[in-house]
Structure 1
Amino acid sequence: MPDELKDKFQQLVADPPPPTAVPSEAVFAKVRTVRRRRTAGVAVLAAAAVAAIAVAGNNLTDINSTPPVSGTPGPTIAASAPPSSTSNATTGTVGTTKTTKTGTTGTTGSVQPTGPAKPSSSGTQTHNPPASPPVAVTVSLLPRLTGRSLTMKVTVKGTLISPLGIEGDGSSGVELPGDTSFLNRTLGTTYLYGDGEESGSDGGAVTCTGAKKRVTSKETYTLMDGPHVYKKAGTYTFKYTVQYCGTKNQTLKATKTAQIVVP
């Protein structure tokens, strides 16, 4: 039996079976198979590497991060932001804890602005009427001399008691019209030029008796009988006087003088 096997082996070696394909194609087919297997292996390794990077990216946040430690997670701690000078606080959520820009954690409520303290209504407040201005009239003079001719501008201002008009029969007094000028509410004026001549104005049919209306005003006018001409050079004193009613039915006076030097 061993001899028969030996003979058959020798026959096979001496007469090999005819090839089924070109040797170069068979070699190429083996190489191509190997390349396909290697390509498939690289794809599997690349897919595994991508999966590993994705897992690491989910667990690591920066270059200094470390893999998560398995176990029961601890409580979440929210870091408070530094205080801000803005008046409107913006709330955010970190985990389950609310934080605000002012560093306060927890639920925030609206803050009502505080205004000035209101006066208590329990006490009784009294409002005193404004004080009436004192009854007093002043006079200002503005002379203008051209050669020997004098023009005088007068300003009368202050507070007086408006006189009452006398009826035709002289029995009673009435209020003067509302549009009556301040000067016409006086009792008249007189003025002296200092050279012996005198002039003035009459207050008319008025009286201080029973008068109570207080009037405060101002009026500027130029003496109507001017200009006054001085006959010779010299120094003269001009004197102006206005009369008006006081609070006690009396007649008051306001006087002003000015020095006139005639060349």
Structure 2
Amino acid sequence: MTDDLHARMQRLVADPPPPTAVPSQAVFARVRKVRRRRAAGVAVLATAAVAAVVAISGNLSEIDSQPPVVGPPSGSTPSSTPTTPSPYGVKVTLEPYVTGRTVTMNISMSGTVLRPIADGGLEVPDNHLVALGQGTAYSWGDDSDIFSSFSNGSECVKAKTPFKGSGKPIAESHTYPRPGTYTYTYRTRFCGVKVDATASIPVVIN
């Protein structure tokens, strides 16, 4: 191929010659339709881009703000219901009196409970908190036996009448075999009270 022919080929590829024939009206219509579609597509993309920028910038309130993380919508989170505190409970107070190695433990209690149902389906009529108890347990904190006596809970199954009051069980005494510091623990149970009322106190024997 001569240099002149090669130069002509390069000009044809780089800048093809204009058509010699006049295009038909159908060709012009197709060209206009394609141009309109391209223009509409560009406009839609531009509008979407502007909206995205505005939405993201609207969520940035501070200089150090970061763009929001876009993700799938989260599922509904179950709301926790606050627990209503029980209206029933008993407070136990312990007062030890020490004489030598002998301790007399005075116990007092107060609170609100449910009246137990006695045999025959009748409520226990007593108006003394101790009489409505369902058992006790106590330990002197040494090698002596632990006292424990509780009912089987049947008297509390149908209990529904509240009782508010106080009371003092009979004071118990105990003699320790040797000096030291011991921990006395007392536990009592009532209808309507979910957790046994418990108290403890150190006892110093010289």
Query: So what's the TM-score if we normalise by structure 1?
Result: 0.42
Q: Is the 8 A contact 1:246 1:252 kept in 2?
A: no
Q: Name the aligned partner's letter for residue 112 of structure 2.
A: T
* Alignment of structure 1 residues 122-161 onto 2, 5 Å: 134-161=87-114
**1:166: Cα distance to partner?**
2.7
Distance of 1:186 and 1:217 partners within structure 2 = 12
Please show how residues 142-181 of structure 1 align to structure 2 within 5 Å. Answer: 142-167=95-120, 173-177=121-125, 179-181=126-128
CA distance in 1, matches of 2:163, 2:99: 36
Residue identity matched to 2:202? Q
Write out per-residue CA displacement over residues 75-126 of structure 1, whole angstroms, 9 at most, x where no aligned residue.
xxxxxxxxxxxxxxxxxxxxxxxxxxxxxxxxxxxxxxxxxxxxxxxxxxxx
- RMSD between aligned residues: 2.3
Give SS of 1:164's match.
coil
**Deviation, structure 1 residue 199:** 2.3
Per the alignment, do residues 252 and 163 of structure 1 end up closer, same or farther by CA in structure 2, a change over 3 Å counting? farther
Q: State the identity as a percent.
A: 32
1:196 deviation in Å? 3.0
Residue 255 (str. 1) matches residue 198 (str. 2):
yes
Give the superposition deviation at 1:186: 1.2
One-letter amino acid matched to 2:176: Y
Instruction: Judge conservation of contact 1:151–1:222 (CA < 8 Å) in 2.
Output: no
Cα gap change, 1:216 to 1:242, in 2 (>3 Å): same
CA distance in 1, matches of 2:197, 2:118: 22
Q: Does 1:207 align with 2:166?
A: no
Deviation at 1:162, TM superposition (A): 1.2
Aligned partners of 1:190, 1:157: CA distance in 2, in Å? Answer: 17
Regions of 4+ moved over 3 Å: 200-206
Aligned length: 120
**Residue-by-residue CA offset, 1:199-246 (whole Å, 9 max, x unaligned):** 2555598511011010000112442xx320000111110000011111
Cross-structure match for 2:6: none
Supply the distance in 2 between the matched residues of 1:206 and 1:183 (Cα, whole angstroms): 18
3-state DSSP of counterpart to 1:174: coil
2:121 aligned with 1:182: no
Under a length normalisation based on structure 2, what TM-score does the superposition of the two structures give?
Answer: 0.53
Tell me, in whole angstroms, the C-alpha distance in 1 between the residues paired with 2:129 and 2:154: 14
